[in-house]
Chains A and B, each alone.
Chain A
Amino acid sequence: MFLPILSKIKKPNFLLCLPILLAHSTLYAFGGGEWASEAGLEGTFFAEESETSDTRSNFSLFISTEYYVDWNDGADSFIFSPRLRLDQNDSERNTFDITELAWVHVEDTWEMRTGIREVGWGVSLMGGVVDVINQTNIVEDFFGSKLGQPMINLSLVQDWGILDLFVLTGFRRAAFPGPDSRPGLPFEMSTNESDVPLQDREIIGLDYAARWQHSWESFEWALSYFYGTSREADVDFNYSVAEPGIISTYNNINQLGAELLYIWNGYSFKYESKTVVGAKNRDAGLGTYTAGLIGFEYTWGSALGSDFDVMWDISYMHDDRKSSFTAIMEKDVFALGVLNFNDEFDTRIALGSIWDVEDDEGIFLINAERRIAETWKVTMLAVYFYAEQEDTPPEVTEQQSAAELDRLLRGFELFGDSELERIIDSFGSLVLEYGVFSDEVGDAVENLQTIVDSVTFQENNKLAIMKDESFARVILTHYF
């Protein structure tokens, strides 16, 4: 059944499979360890064509595995987990990653974890506020799976809590879905290293982090600190008039994070916040911003005398950045309800929404899963993007003259004083200075305008960027 799909894959980079096979045989020689793998087929269906892609359905295959072996009575262990995805239509979603390749050594009061790993910080199910160690992969998974992060992590286990110290290396850029991807962004964001003026520290590439966690009675808390390259990309213009393009850039940041969990009478109260001090490239100061989340979770067990339980999680998120590309939503209510059937198939239905209370737009989702045989599971996901369609700004169409371009670029100046507007301004100045006009410049202007539209201009309408991307997805997974 997989064969017809395989033949449709545009760039089936089978070389990507080699590392997995190789690792398989090498580690098999190791002996003693165990493998746990999953493989599956994912079909995604879109209600509408997007402005940049007419793909209405898309299939992809994925496989991931985990090898684990321990010795010295469990004091030493080794883990290896690669994953591979092959996509029917979108070469950007053909991805191979090693999520984990690490050696863990455990002593009475400390642990040393060396290698590529995945680390999750934070008390919220929504995640994202204080979580900073791994780069997110939004291309493969719209809600973000993580990319492996090379590190040395010393974890001290003491009476006063657990203290984790990290030295991180091998910073990885985020990949963004492009105009051909679905769900995707309506413009191409380059992740090509050569497009980006490399900072020295990106080459040396050491980041540092620490997290102290402790608990007392019904309280659990953590304080964390991160110094290094932000995992969050910002959007920039490459300042090339000859080959204009939109690029992602990264700032050096200092991040101070706090997490608190309080359990009372079946409720979990959650709080996360961070203060980020960062300096943007090119002297365009980003300054300091804070973001936070506060919420609660409650599980209604044996609802109405049934075997079902219902879990509620309602949180309010706040991000005080005004014009950041990544902070597309600023004041949001996140609500999640999960109905657990507690049956032998682990059937579960989740309803979720993220609602921007300031701008009246949001994302709604339904996720349902059920095991259909001992080693097979089916997952269904529907995601709906809601954004008011109003005040559509004038679009940049075919530019006929430099004068029109001039007028348009000058028009951007009206917007104000955000970081993005400065980008537009400098782009405009460059174009005016060199008097260059080409299709590429036209495209670049369009792309820039798309971003500005979504981030700055249409303040009530940021999610409009995703308005055609609502989708339904079915995933069939086999575990072996």
Chain B
Amino acid sequence: MVKNLIVGTLALVLAAPVFAETPEDKGLRIALEGEKTGEGWVDESSTLKMILINKKGNETVREMRSKATEGSNDDGKMLMVFDSPRDQKGTALLTHTHPDKDNDQWLYLPALKKVKKIASKAKSGPFLGSEFSFEDIGGAKIEDYDYKWIRDEDLNGRKVWVMEAYPKSKYSGYTKVISWIDQEDYRQYKAEFWDRKKSHLKTMTILGYKKYLDKFWRPAELHMVNLQTGKSTKMLITETKFDQKLQDKDFTKNSLKRAR
């Protein structure tokens, strides 16, 4: 008994350099490193086209434009303007992210010429009827999840980490998100979303990566397939631009009102 304990302790001490990092630690480290690698983009704008495809293959198209500043300490700002369908044209969404509290969001309602602050905490709902939910679209912070590295794998000739993230918020629609992440440049190639009933809900594939400013990888297409409903959404990202000299004044309630 005592001997076993000593052997056990010895084994632990000897193995320390190998086992010091638990899968959880490694998962968190990868997430943090990934975030750090992605930092420094300052500002960015792009045009988004979502193609919603139902079970029968019928398509609905939604187009929007977004611009964002990185800010410092996670206090980034984003403005999204909706172009189509035409009845939604002119609607705009302003988000201020905060490191230590809920994000602030305002919606501009062109019919009322009013800016409305959004109070909803619900994040699991569909984003504009697509297979993306609000929590997929943006504003996720490192501290919103617990992480776990699962295994290393080869994916299309690249070495990737497979890791799991577990949302902490009870408002999340997921219990688990599995990600495939490039070991060299932290690009994410694929994600699987598991719902509250712990069954596989959606799979997202990320395609057409291009490097900007010699440093930042941005995809051209996200493809989200809902395995439970047979519906899917393609998000096409075009006109990605950096160094737009965007300033705080481009992200105020006044700028939301005149966003085009």
Residues on A facing B (Cβ under 8 Å): 36, 38, 68, 70, 74, 77, 104, 106, 108-109, 111, 118-120, 122, 127, 146, 155, 157, 162, 213, 220, 261, 263-268, 297-302, 305, 307, 309, 341-346, 371, 374-375, 377, 477, 479-480
B198 within 8 A of A: no
Q: Are B121 and A157 closer than 8 Å at their CB atoms?
A: no
Cβ–Cβ < 8 Å partners of B84 in chain A:
374
Q: Are B87 and A377 closer than 8 Å at their CB atoms?
A: yes
Please measure, in the bound complex, the distance between the C-alpha atom of A301 and the C-alpha atom of B127, giving whole angstroms: 12
Q: Are A302 and B117 closer than 8 Å at their CB atoms?
A: no
Q: Are B52 and A120 closer than 8 Å at their CB atoms?
A: no
Q: Are B61 and A302 closer than 8 Å at their CB atoms?
A: no
Q: Are A374 and B85 closer than 8 Å at their CB atoms?
A: yes
Instruction: Give the distance to chain B from A64, nearest Cβ to Cβ, in Å.
Output: 11
Cβ–Cβ < 8 Å partners of B253 in chain A:
162, 213
Q: Are B258 and A106 closer than 8 Å at their CB atoms?
A: yes
Cβ 8 A contact of A371, one of B87, B123, B196: B87
Please measure, in the bound complex, the distance between the C-alpha atom of A342 and the C-alpha atom of B173, giving whole angstroms: 15
Please measure, in the bound complex, the distance between the C-alpha atom of A480 and the C-alpha atom of B123, giving whole angstroms: 32
Q: Are A344 and B249 closer than 8 Å at their CB atoms?
A: no
Q: Are B129 and A36 closer than 8 Å at their CB atoms?
A: no
Q: A77-B258, A263-B119, A268-B119 are in contact. Are A302 and B249 (CB under 8 A)?
A: no
Q: A108-B249, A344-B60 are in contact. Are A479 and B123 (CB under 8 A)?
A: no
Q: A343-B129, A375-B85, A480-B86 are in contact. Are A261 and B117 (CB under 8 A)?
A: yes
Q: Are B129 and A104 closer than 8 Å at their CB atoms?
A: no
14 more A-B contacts (CB under 8 A) besides A344-B130, A479-B89?
A36-B90, A77-B260, A106-B258, A108-B247, A213-B253, A220-B117, A299-B119, A301-B122, A301-B124, A305-B196, A309-B122, A344-B52, A375-B85, A479-B87
Q: Are A374 and B60 closer than 8 Å at their CB atoms?
A: yes
B54 within 8 A of A: yes
Q: Are A307 and B126 closer than 8 Å at their CB atoms?
A: yes
Beta-carbon contacts under 8 Å, B104-145 to A? 112-114, 117, 119-126, 128-130
B254 within 8 A of A: yes
Please measure, in the bound complex, the distance between the C-alpha atom of A261 and the C-alpha atom of B121, giving whole angstroms: 16
Instruction: Give the distance to chain A from B107, nearest Cβ to Cβ, in Å.
Output: 12
Cβ–Cβ < 8 Å partners of B130 in chain A:
344
Q: Are A344 and B54 closer than 8 Å at their CB atoms?
A: yes
Please measure, in the bound complex, the distance between the C-alpha atom of A220 and the C-alpha atom of B106, giving whole angstroms: 12
Cβ–Cβ < 8 Å partners of B129 in chain A:
341-346
Q: Are B260 and A299 closer than 8 Å at their CB atoms?
A: no
Cβ–Cβ < 8 Å partners of A106 in chain B:
258
B contacts with A: majority SS: loop
Closest to B50 in A: A344
Q: Are B117 and A342 closer than 8 Å at their CB atoms?
A: no
Please measure, in the bound complex, the distance between the C-alpha atom of A331 and the C-alpha atom of B212, giving whole angstroms: 60
Q: A309-B125, A479-B87 are in contact. Are A299 and B258 (CB under 8 A)?
A: no
Cβ 8 A contact of B121, one of A38, A70, A266: A266
Cβ–Cβ < 8 Å partners of B173 in chain A:
302
Q: Are A162 and B252 closer than 8 Å at their CB atoms?
A: yes
Cβ 8 A contact of A268, one of B117, B125, B247, B260: B117
Q: Are A301 and B123 closer than 8 Å at their CB atoms?
A: yes
Cβ–Cβ < 8 Å partners of B54 in chain A:
344
Cβ 8 A contact of A111, one of B86, B112, B126, B254: B254
B88 within 8 A of A: yes
Q: A155-B254, A157-B254 are in contact. Are A266 and B119 (CB under 8 A)?
A: yes
Please measure, in the bound complex, the distance between the C-alpha atom of A300 and the C-alpha atom of B119, giving whole angstroms: 11
Instruction: Give the distance to chain B from A220, nearest Cβ to Cβ, in Å.
Output: 6
Cβ–Cβ < 8 Å partners of B90 in chain A:
36
Cβ–Cβ < 8 Å partners of A36 in chain B:
86, 89-90
Q: A36-B90, A344-B129 are in contact. Are A301 and B121 (CB under 8 A)?
A: yes
Interchain residue pairs with CB less than 8 A apart (5): A120-B113, A146-B113, A301-B122, A301-B124, A343-B129
Please measure, in the bound complex, the distance between the C-alpha atom of A36 and the C-alpha atom of B88, giving whole angstroms: 11
Q: A342-B129, A344-B54, A371-B87 are in contact. Are A263 and B117 (CB under 8 A)?
A: yes
Q: Are A374 and B112 closer than 8 Å at their CB atoms?
A: no
B60, B61, B247: most-surrounded residue (chain A CB, <10 A): B60
Cβ–Cβ < 8 Å partners of B119 in chain A:
263-264, 266-268, 297-299
Cβ–Cβ < 8 Å partners of A118 in chain B:
113
A261, A344, A479: most-surrounded residue (chain B CB, <10 A): A344
Cβ–Cβ < 8 Å partners of A68 in chain B:
260
Cβ–Cβ < 8 Å partners of B125 in chain A:
301-302, 307, 309, 342
Interface pairs A-B: 7 shortest CB-CB: A301-B122, A479-B86, A344-B60, A120-B114, A299-B120, A120-B113, A268-B119
